[in-house]
Amino acid sequence: MRKTLYIISLSTLVFSCTSKKNIKKNTYRPKTTVTQPKTVTNSTSQEKIKPQITKESGVEFFTTNIADITKNDNTASYGSIVSAKPAGYKVVKTHFPAIAQNFRQKYLILHYTVLPDDKSVTVLTQQGVSAHYLVNNLGDNEIYQLVDENKRSYHAGVSAWRADKNLNDTSIGIEIVNMGYTADATGAKTFQPFSDDQVKKVAALAKDIVTRYNIPATNVLAHSDIAPTRKQDPGPQFPWKKLYDEYQIGMWYDEAAKQSLLTSAQTDVSTRYNESPFIFLVQTALQKFGYEVFPNGKWDDATKKTIEALQYHFRPQNYNGIMDAETWAILQALNQKYPTK
């Protein structure tokens, strides 16, 4: 009897323990760790916004922009990526490129050589002056590149436009083979024309450059614009309006705006021409547009040459350096259309 009771008690204990285990098993709810799909999302995002650097013969390139082009920012490289090689360390491009960057190339400056083709090549490659490109006058389809666009060429010299100075640092220069001008005994200048072939080459080249570097219209300039007291190139024979009309390159005033300003400009010129406040007003308008001129209320030589430079570019029919009514209306129309930001 005692043995029977022992067996029954043992069976009850086993059953009780088994039941408790089953209850715990059925009611247990393991903790779940909520993980954000961070790695997957970021990886996909990174792949989308940061394309791979390409390599050719061991040289790295990155030609895709991921920055904000509306702010003139651009991460694209139009040459090989130049990197440091510090001794004992490895430079990696795990986080390349940062979006906060833009091009060095802010300006496009046009020149003429005052030399024939062969001498232009020699001087621009063997002496202390250069340009990124040289447009010959041989009637062929070639444009000579003389300097890497990522490097400074020595084409602008002492120069200024709006808030910028020393434009070699921030520009690409195009030289055009042209003999410049001859002057008569009175100092009147007669400029040589450019061939149609040259104009087409310059237009195609300029279009490519301003598009790639997002160069604004206000920064496509003549050498005479950025150095008016010492330079005349490319002169009044260069067809700026043709580039504007047919290729959407550079600046030009609105004819309607000029006409609306012409009557008041005629009054200004006929009644106030030699008054210091009017001269100061003209000088200030030239300065506002971009020319480096220092208002002093006098028709000095620097002011006359600056007016001449304006006329070379925007009023080539008459480039005598005198602020007549049409030139004054044109200058005001330009300032309306292209205000300083």
C-alpha span between 305 and 294 (Å, rounded): 13
Q: Is the pLDDT of residue 11 over 70?
A: no
Tokens of 291: 């020319």
- List Cβ<8 Å contacts ≥24 apart for 133-138: 133/172, 133/173, 133/174, 133/175, 133/205, 134/174, 134/175, 134/176, 134/177, 135/174, 135/175, 135/176, 135/177, 135/198, 135/201, 135/202, 135/205, 136/177, 136/198, 137/177, 137/178, 137/195, 137/197, 137/198
| 200 vs 51, residue with greater confidence | 200
Q: Is the pLDDT of residue 181 over 70?
A: yes
Q: Which of 200, 88, 90, 224 lies closest to 142 in space, CA to CA?
A: 200
Q: Is the pLDDT of residue 3 over 70?
A: no
Q: Is the pLDDT of residue 100 over 50?
A: yes
- Average of per-residue pLDDT across 139-159: 97
Contact 136, 117 (CB under 8 A): yes
> Which of 5-19, 58-72, 231-245 has maximum average pLDDT?
231-245
pLDDT number for residue 72: 87
Q: Is the pLDDT of residue 259 over 80?
A: yes
Per-chain mean pLDDT for the chain: 89
pLDDT number for residue 48: 55
Exposure of 117 by Cβ count < 10 A (0-12 exposed, 13-18 middle, 19+ buried)?
middle
Cβ count within 10 A of residue 241: 14
- Average of per-residue pLDDT across 262-280: 98
Q: 175, 292, 308, 326: which is the annotated catalytic residue?
A: 175
- Average of per-residue pLDDT across 86-107: 94
Distances (CA, A) of 91 to 54, 63, 83, 96: 16, 20, 8, 11
Contact 335, 288 (CB under 8 A): yes
pLDDT number for residue 35: 47
Q: Is the pLDDT of residue 109 over 50?
A: yes
Exposure of 19 by Cβ count < 10 A (0-12 exposed, 13-18 middle, 19+ buried)?
exposed
pLDDT number for residue 136: 98
Tokens of 223: 């050498």
Q: Which of 114, 251, 296 lies closest to 304 in space, CA to CA?
A: 296
Among 27-31, 185-189, 299-303, name the one with the lowest average pLDDT.
Answer: 27-31
pLDDT number for residue 2: 45
Q: Which of 325, 184, 175 lies closest to 258 in space, CA to CA?
A: 325
Q: Per-residue pLDDT tens for 26-67?
A: 444 544 444 444 444 444 444 456 778 998 888 999 988 999
3-state secondary structure of 135: strand
Distances (CA, A) of 225 to 6, 40, 110: 115, 54, 10
- Catalytic site includes residue 175: yes
